[in-house]
Structure 1
Amino acid sequence: MEYRRLGASGLRVPVLSLGAGTFGGQGPLFGAWGRVDVEEARRLVDICLDAGVTLFDTADVYSGGASEEVLGGAIKGRRDQVILSTKASLPVGDGPNDAGSSRFRLIEACEQALRRLGTDHIDVFQLHAFDAGTPIEEVLSTLDELVRAGKLRYVGVSNFSGWQLMKSLAVAEKYGYPRYISHQVYYSLVGRDYEWELMPLGLDQGVGALVWSPLGWGRLTGKVRRGRPLPAGSRLHDTAQFGPPVRDEQLFDIVDVLSEIAEETGKAVPQVAINWLLRRPTVSSVILGARNEEQLRQNLGAVGWTLTAAQAAKLEAASATTAPYPYYPYERQEGFAQLNPPVSALLPTP
């Protein structure tokens, strides 16, 4: 297993990590993802640790806290072997203070997460969404107190826009508060919007990407094909409306290329899709989801080998989209590109 620094911090994380969204399995969304109990979760953690995967990610909103509880049970007795990441800010109830990143909410969320995870500290605590109603100074000063108290080791964010993240980093620098070291983001061959603004920001500011849904909400497993109905067991039947939008024709073009490269390499389609992500700038770790041992073992096969430059170029051509304004002039016009290199200049040279 390869390990990389998480952003500009000194924390080293495995390039593959396990997301606990399938743990607990409560509610229409998370129940469709999976219903992993403590016994099965313990087995998945065993497999991960044997493979060198030490980072486990969850959130208080996953199955109403049940995901944190199951993960806590699965790591019991071996807390020193794992890196725990959890998230808070999204609504966990109907009360006036059950959502957001206020001092009240963050302190309560931290205490509840510590209890459910059965630990005295959280290694990476991330804001699940930007809270426009709470001053950034209040958010960061609260996180600073929790870090100083030893309850949090590092802090990060998830699903922020570029200006939200940059303003937060500026406030942290101004007052000496902890800087966000990670950004948990959606990034896949069928969803490359991360590259336009957040990737350059991450490179410039030392913020590492923890990638969620690397298989495009289950669309890059190789089971979703052109001209075929969705497989009977696909979670897309119940959860497609919750996931990122896709353009079907491009999706099928990408899957065709993935299948071609899978045959060339002797790897599975998901392994190829994940391996491609591991080549991308700023990516510190790709978060895997797994309902069972078989899925987990297959996805762990995404490391230990690498795509050729030609194979990567084929995938990039099939998945390329036109950047939105104001980014596309820098890709299309030489005068713009002379002043500010385009996003493509940040990417590995084929």
Structure 2
Amino acid sequence: MESRRLGRSGLDISAIAYGNWLTHGGQVEEDAAHACVRAALDAGITTFDTADVYAGTRAESVLGRALAGQRREGLEVFTKVYWPTGPGHNDRGLSRKHITESCHASLRRLQTDYVDLYQAHRYDSTVPLEETMTAFADLVRAGKVLYVGVSEWNAEEIAAGAALARDLGVQLISNQPQYSMLWRVIEDEVVPTSEKEGLSQIVWSPLAQGVLTGKYLPGQQPPADSRGGHAEAGGSMRRFLRDDVLTRVQDLKPIAGDLGLSMAQLAIAWVLQNPNVAAAIIGATRPEQVQDNAAAAGVTLDADILARIDEVLGDIVERDPAKTSRG
């Protein structure tokens, strides 16, 4: 497994990270979740990403149990804070109160004394940025958080957050955006700003939530046992389940075949060609998916392959920086 440096920090992470959005505590049973984590560890994956809100906090608990007994120093455990985790008016957002309380709750569920990276899951325009960054800095100084990151912040927000972090004597080292062959909204603004400010990208949905595996066919309903066919999980991927998109994705199969790669491996290798990407987060419901995805680490796609991919996908690629997620 290839490792990469995260931002301008001293932290190395695995180029493939294992994430449990939509799976642990929800789409798959606990035994299957544990089997996928074991497969990730066997593949050399050391970086595990979750969030307090996933599966109503259950995902963190499942991951904590799955990693129990592993050498903590050999892992990089990431989680996030922002979305509601309870009924109270302070059970959400990036206030000092919610950040502090949510961090303590995450540590309990993950069965660890600290997290390697604590991420602001979205930008909170209702709270002064100074309050948010000071709360993160205090957790770093308390030893409960080693590094600080963000998720789906735009370029202006990243620049402001990085400047405040420096003033507070801590490092803002990462952004976690959606990024894939089909969704490239970070390329024009977020990536250049991140490079300037010393952040790397830890990208989610490199497979466009499974669409880039090629298993979804134009003119056909999603397979019943797939994410697209799952009532809750499928809702977030509808933008990709259009016939014009699915037709172009099928046209990528000869490229993958010429390289001896699966479609998933081609898609994951593609995001890892971006030098500002430190890791691609994969999710899985079966160990075999983990094994297949992990094999994309270290694959190099030369310039003519990247050009062929761009030619096939054409104008279905989303590039508008204004579409950096708020949802």
> What TM-score does the superposition give when structure 2 sets the normalisation length?
0.90
User: Hey, what does 2:194 align to over in structure 1?
Assistant: 202
User: Hey, what does 1:41 align to over in structure 2?
Assistant: 33
* Structure 2 Cα separation of the partners of residues 165 and 190 of structure 1: 23
Equivalent of 2:85, from 43, 67, 92? 92
User: Hey, what does 1:13 align to over in structure 2?
Assistant: 13
> 1:141-162 CA deviation, whole Å, 9 max, x = no partner?
1111110110000010001122
Q: Percent identity between the aligned chains?
A: 38
Task: Tell me by how many angstroms 1:49 deviates.
Answer: 2.1
Task: Tell me by how many angstroms 1:245 deviates.
Answer: 2.8
* Structure 2 Cα separation of the partners of residues 129 and 148 of structure 1: 23
Contact 2:149 2:172 survives alignment (8 Å): yes
Equivalent of 2:109, from 112, 116, 139? 116
Equivalent of 1:236, from 221, 224, 228? 228
* Structure 1 Cα separation of the partners of residues 35 and 107 of structure 2: 22
* Structure 2 Cα separation of the partners of residues 98 and 19 of structure 1: 23
SS at match of 2:38: helix
SS at match of 1:245: helix
SS at match of 1:186: coil
Q: Does 1:142 align with 2:135?
A: yes
User: Hey, what does 1:53 align to over in structure 2?
Assistant: 45
User: Hey, what does 2:219 align to over in structure 1?
Assistant: 227
> What TM-score does the superposition give when structure 1 sets the normalisation length?
0.85
Give the AA of the match of 2:139: L
Task: Tell me by how many angstroms 1:282 deviates.
Answer: 0.6
Contact 1:257 1:315 survives alignment (8 Å): no
Q: Which has the higher contact order (CA 8 A, sep 6+)?
A: 2
Q: Which runs of 5+ in 2 are unaligned?
A: 323-327
> 1:47-72 CA deviation, whole Å, 9 max, x = no partner?
22222210000000011111111111
Q: Does 1:277 align with 2:297?
A: no
Q: Does 1:178 align with 2:170?
A: yes
Alignment of structure 1 residues 1-350 onto 2, 5 Å: 1-25=1-25, 31=26, 34-37=27-30, 39-78=31-70, 79-173=72-166, 175-237=167-229, 238=231, 239-243=233-237, 245-246=239-240, 248=242, 250-321=244-315, 324=320
Contact 1:258 1:272 survives alignment (8 Å): no
Query: What is the root-mean-square deviation in Å for CA atoms of aligned residues?
Result: 2.0
> 1:184-218 CA deviation, whole Å, 9 max, x = no partner?
11001111111121111112111110010111122
* Structure 2 Cα separation of the partners of residues 153 and 36 of structure 1: 31
**Residue-pair matches, total:** 317
Contact 2:60 2:106 survives alignment (8 Å): yes
Task: Tell me by how many angstroms 1:114 deviates.
Answer: 0.7
Change in Cα spacing, 1:134 to 1:235, as seen in structure 2 (3 Å) is: same
Change in Cα spacing, 1:197 to 1:245, as seen in structure 2 (3 Å) is: farther
Task: Tell me by how many angstroms 1:324 deviates.
Answer: 4.5
SS at match of 2:278: strand
Give the AA of the match of 1:211: V
Give the AA of the match of 2:155: G
Change in Cα spacing, 1:96 to 1:36, as seen in structure 2 (3 Å) is: same
Contact 1:199 1:281 survives alignment (8 Å): no
